[in-house]
Amino acid sequence: MAYHNDGFVRVGAATPRIKVADCEANRESVRRLMEEAAGAGVQAMVFPELCLTGYTCGDLFQSGTLLAGAEQALRRLLQETEGLNLVAAVGLPVAVGGELYNCAAVLCRGRLLGLAAKSNIPNYGEFYEARHFSAAPGYLEVCFAGQRAPLGNSLLFRCEEMPELVLGVEICEDLWVPCPPDVRLTAGGATLMLNLSASDEIAGKAEYRRGLVQGQSARTLCAYAYADAGEGESSTDLVFAGHNVIAENGALLAESQPFGTGLITADADLERMLAERRRTTTWRNARAPEPFGPTHEVVFSMPVERLELRRKIEPLAFVPRDAQHLEARCETILNLQAAGLRTRLAHTGAKNAVVGVSGGLDSTLALLVTARAFDALGLSRAGILAVSMPGFGTTMRTKSNAQRLAGLLDAQFRETPIGASVLQHFRDIGQDPENHDVTYENAQARERTQVLMDLANQNGGLVIGTGDLSELALGWATYNGDHMSMYAVNASIPKTLVRHLVAHAARRARQDGAAGGEELGAVLEDILNTPVSPELLPPEEGEIAQRTEDIVGPYELHDFFLYYVLRFGFGPGKIYRMACRAFAGAYSGETVRHWLNIFFRRFFAQQFKRSCLPDGPKVGSVTLSPRGDWRMPSDASAALWLAELETL
């Protein structure tokens, strides 16, 4: 499905400086902020509750003069903003017969799309709204501000030019009740909720409010913009801080500083929300309308111009940016990996494990995890057999690091050269050893797997797999070679995260102060500084000749592609544009497009390897287990994806 602006919409939340009961002055403040927002590319925005009159009017809400002034102010605002390409929700009181409703006027390009009314009228503590306002009706049509429009709490507003933009509106207290209107509205299709609020400020309330907005955006899988009343409201008993919040599926996108006015903006990804809803079966189940009643859709037209994205896109999609968060995440993942292996060892009764160690990142992580699992079971690390199997491409640096690492972790170390066995195999099958083709490379990988499996049989143990998620995505593994093990602890760890896990282990080794900790940290850091390589081709002057990223491409790019393909199902075009923004200055657009093409070609062609993976623990939201998160036919065609790439 093609989305306008790749599904991104610029959202604004604004707090105008108001004067209580001065509708004309308030209209002017709202108009200026709408013009500012339109100039900033905002496409949908929200203002505070009752901002055309002020929330703190008290019994003045019973005055026909105030109500008429608010209606006239809205009529003028509609006229003045007819040329602005944005949709806005503005708060005001609306009298219908003998009822007075607390409403959000939803307007776009001079048209009053509807009046979304407040459902939950608070009448406790400092709130006395039931003295003036009635709870929202489900749906009715009224004539207001010179136009005919629907009024109620069941309204959805869908943009004709950008159909993924569907607005739902609720007002202040509506968010704070056990079953908010947004449950009904998002179940009916709203992707962006707007909340007009006049939430007075007391100590500790901002944290609660922020968490409430974030939590509700996560629960309803939507973007959520919350605008709070601020300067100008009566301070007779209350203070309003203008605390505005924009969130998306639990993540905070933007937040205003307290005790100010003005506009905050954020670029929300509505395609991402729709993708989350499609993959979440419980979301689909919750869409049954019976508990909530029907919704009523209003379609509006608004020209959609190309959005120059301002949203921060992290290049390392799997790696938290915050250092403290990263440390906690690494520790959690290492514990998850170790817990999975610990359970498997306990279930099988195995007291031994075999790990092929190359001196590279993946086997280092697998050995670290195995040591943790043995510690958790109270088993001696002497039951871990770390096996180095030097072949035609092994260098002294990697072999030495593998041996030192095993010793520092108190594991057994064994060196089993495979050169003679592989040469015999070449003679058996008629392979020229000077022909460094795929057979030359894969024969070494399969010989190593045979050695590990047989040693595991000898020792009554399990072969611990070392391959990572990035390699599985690209098919960068030898089928029935390093592709196979008895438990694959790294199966859901992308290469970019493997590096951070090993770096975390190096820091912990130095900080713990245990004997050998400094030396262990130094070995791990040297492994981190070693080029990623399968070491299957002969070294050049003693140095690694085969660098993986020269062949398959930069892992940071492939992990970025992998995350957005698997997690959200984004197409090549959107991923390309996001990657160009995320890696601006590091990779050209042509480079990104080249490796994205390689990614999709390899990803589709190599599914057969993923269809028969060994067991391994899931530690994040993205994994390729054929029994869990990813089921794909091995003969699926990449034609559609490659055709889209051709258009970039």
Feature table: binding site: 124, 199, 205, 356-363, 442, 466, 471, 476-479, 609
The backbone region for 253, taken as left when phi is positive above 0, alpha when psi lies in -120 to 50, beta otherwise, is alpha
What are the start-end ranges of the H helices in 106-204? 181-187
Distance from C-alpha of 416 to C-alpha of 195, rounded to nearest angstrom = 67
The backbone region for 92, taken as left when phi is positive above 0, alpha when psi lies in -120 to 50, beta otherwise, is beta
Contact (Cβ atoms closer than 8 angstroms) between residue 52 and residue 92: yes
Residue of 384, 387, 444 whose CA lies nearest to 420: 444
Residue of 339, 332, 392, 394 whose CA lies nearest to 363: 394
Distance from C-alpha of 47 to C-alpha of 194, rounded to nearest angstrom = 9
- Write out the DSSP string of 592-608: HHHHHHHHHHHHHHTHH
List binding-site positions for L-glutamine. 124, 199, 205
The 10 Å Cβ neighbour count of residue 124 is 9
Residues 6+ away with beta carbon under 8 Å from 513: none
Amino acid sitting at position 82: E
What are the catalytic residues?
A: 49, 118, 172
The b/e string for 139-175 (b: 16+ C-beta within 10 A; e otherwise) is: beebebbeeebbbbbbbbbbbeebebbbbbbbbbbbb
Angle formed by the axes of helices 361-377 and 495-512, nearest 10°: 50
Distance from C-alpha of 73 to C-alpha of 525, rounded to nearest angstrom = 67
Residue of 602, 610, 609 whose CA lies nearest to 628: 610
As beta bridge partners, residue 159 has 300
- Write out the DSSP string of 176-190: GSSS-HHHHHHHTT-
How far apart, in Å, are the Cα atoms of 621 and each of 55, 362, 434, 504? 43, 20, 44, 21
The 10 Å Cβ neighbour count of residue 106 is 26
List binding-site positions for deamido-NAD(+). 442, 471, 476-479, 609
